[in-house]
Structure 1
Amino acid sequence: MFAGAAPLAAQFPSDSSEPLAHARELLRETPLVDGHNDLPWRVRELAAGDFDSLDIAVHQDSLHTDIPRLREGLVGAQFFVSYVPADLIGNGAARFALMQMDLIRRMVERYPETFVFVTTADGIESAHEAGKIAALTGLEGGHAIEGSLDVLRTFYDLGARYMTLTHWASHAWADAATDEPRHNGLSPFGELVVREMNRLGMLVDLSHVSDSTMMDAMRISEAPVIYSHSSARALDNHPRNVPDPILRRLSENDGIVMVNYSPTFISQEVRDWAVTRDSLVDSLRQAFTIVDVTAPDSMVVDTAGLRQAVAGWTETNPAPRAHLEQVADHIDHLAQVAGIDHVGFGSDYDGIDAIPQGLEDVSTFPAIVAELLRRGYSDEDVRKLLGQNFLRVLRGAEAVAERLQQEMDPIVATIPP
């Protein structure tokens, strides 16, 4: 399949420890760029954004990510995202995004021996050479700009180098993969957002968006696009994953899909179980709707009863487990369909509840690299997956921005959020 497959497969039998040692060598040589980590959200959720209360300099059982495990996993560059919940659409989304970006900056300043905040491809490589982890940030959810390209530019100036056009919900200018369409893709304002992101040098992230939004954005964008945390729909029919027809177009755009580790995105069996459970919850919610004793004319859900009923079902129907090999299967498929130059890692650690066996936290990146070596990936291919592909994509966006800033002024446009 890939260059060097047979020799490597022979060199690294499945029971050998040599692939793991070689994986670590490659990770030391080439900065691993992980496209999506929700540590800022977890620190906000668990400790109100306070690193005194949740010190990531030491192992934290409540997290997938802390400094000891980032070092053990040989992470070279990490996108720590400013996730903005979809329920904040039109209700303080920009404020929350600013709070999260401040948290990321405070984290870097608190742990300067570990992190350096960077915004360029050269910065990633310089951090790696200095033995530090490059910390980057992106916005997860285009509703964070509240319908203003002025706000978009401000987030860029604060360091955001990608923006996921939607989260779970469609909004005023773009349709999400997991909600009803409002525009059949991008609205006219949404097209302006993509053009201004190109002019700025902010990567257009198409994780979470609908297929129509994907196609619109790839048609409009002059710069490579990214999928910061998505997998292959052919292997797991989740709307958040990328379908083969769009994967085949990715080489034309020179973009990248960064593989998500969420079990519901990599295992069809887990996905089917989750759909069954969600259907059960929907049906039980009606059964557990009761009269509100404080307002007899109103109805409320007996959440305790509903929770107990779902727990009983889950006990007799436990969730299946996803595993490391399935993540490698997705990498195989993406590399075969989109091309080895268009695949990377976007784990979604600390943004997902369940974790595949063998990939329990950020320390396990050598394990997935070792699995790829066992499957016959050459050193050259592994280096591409680790970070060279992403660095090429980011440099491509930087070059487009340099050109467009000579050709056009900032776009001025605003719509209601």
Structure 2
Amino acid sequence: MKRKEFLKTTGAFVAGSMVVPLVSCEDKPTEVRKNWAGNYQYKAKNLLEPKTTEELQGLVRKLSSQKALGSKHCFNNIADSPENQISTKNFNKVLGIDEEAMTVTVESGARYGEFAPELHQKGFALHNLASLPHISVAGAAATATHGSGVGNGNLASAVKGLELVDGNGQLVKLKEGDPDFYGAVVGLGALGIVTKVTLAIEKTFDVRQDVFQDLPLASLEKDFEAIMSAGYSVSLFTDWQNQVVSQVWIKRRMDEEITDACVEFYGATAATNNLHPITRLSAENCTEQMGKPGPWYDRLPHFKMGFTPSSGEELQSEFFVPMENAVDAILALEKKRELIFPQLMITEIRTIAADELWMSTAYRQPSVAIHFTWKQNWPEVSKLLPMIEAELSPFGVRPHWGKLFTVAPETLHDRYPKYQSFLELVKKYDPEGKFRNEYLDLNVYQA
């Protein structure tokens, strides 16, 4: 099936309000479920919520078709199933900190924003966080979700070990250095249901966040690498209008030698109050700015854990290009600004360090992410995505696995050197195809 046909027929977007009866392990009926943004309605008939690994193993052995469901932050059908979804909501505990190995082990459904404060209180930190702290650890790793920083790998790169239930119901433990580890971390939910994840940690640190407005596009073109290296984590926000980047968010570690932020940054001026990335929206939901230091977990994300992130009702797509091609890619898209702008809420541009994870969007290439937050208008957005992908195609673009894209499967496979190895790994861990769904049939299994 071609991808355009697939998007029309999968019901990948809200197509009505029919109530589908669902059951949990306790046989309790559940209302229709949608993802966080409300653009996707899950088609799985049953929802199960095991409380133990043993219970999960029993379900996997018994059921012929199933899929793990995490924090529901993906914008496509990667976490859906023809029959059964298995929620990881009860797998949410911190299992222990190994101070000698400098790791923390958490259950797969744990959300970064929920355990990060505890980690900080004990004197430790993660190297990076996504813009939203609301996402689950296993889901973030499985889709190579990222934070920002020229020297910072994505969230999956922090994984040092994982435990999963494979298609045979067996408990599999993998650690860094094992042959299958590098293919399993960004597993797209294809190998099994993850139960535990071990993450690298470091000594805790504070971060200050400074925001600048109206960075000239000419400055970005001339000094891109210097601008993106100006902090531990740097984000650019633009609506592609007026030849400017509307905001630059610079997050700097307080344990590194830094000076007070200046009032001017490559032609941009310092903000005089806290801002939302979408300037017209209130900054109430955003993490503290104006150079006020705070713990890593309360500055590296853009949004606070206790608040609705971003704008809420939206669509998202994101595309990764090699760092060396970033400026050319940005300028190519800038030429399409008048087509992009009517459906756009905001674009964010960030950097990610290279890693060795087979299906990571940053596999063996330092990358730049160009992220689009769209108005929730799929008919129009669906017309823009092929155009954007065509503009970025010369740069070997890789789309975010959990967001909206239309790249053809054969093209997608060509952009991952270890694709064939990953396909073999999937068939090894799920020989009967218990974790297959429409998403995997299209993007992984289809030749």
TM-score by shorter chain over 0.5: no
Greater percentage in strand? 2
Structure of greater relative contact order (alpha carbons < 8 Å, 6+ residues apart): 1
User: Normalising by the residue count of structure 2, what TM-score does the alignment of the two structures yield?
Assistant: 0.26
TM-score by length of 1: 0.28
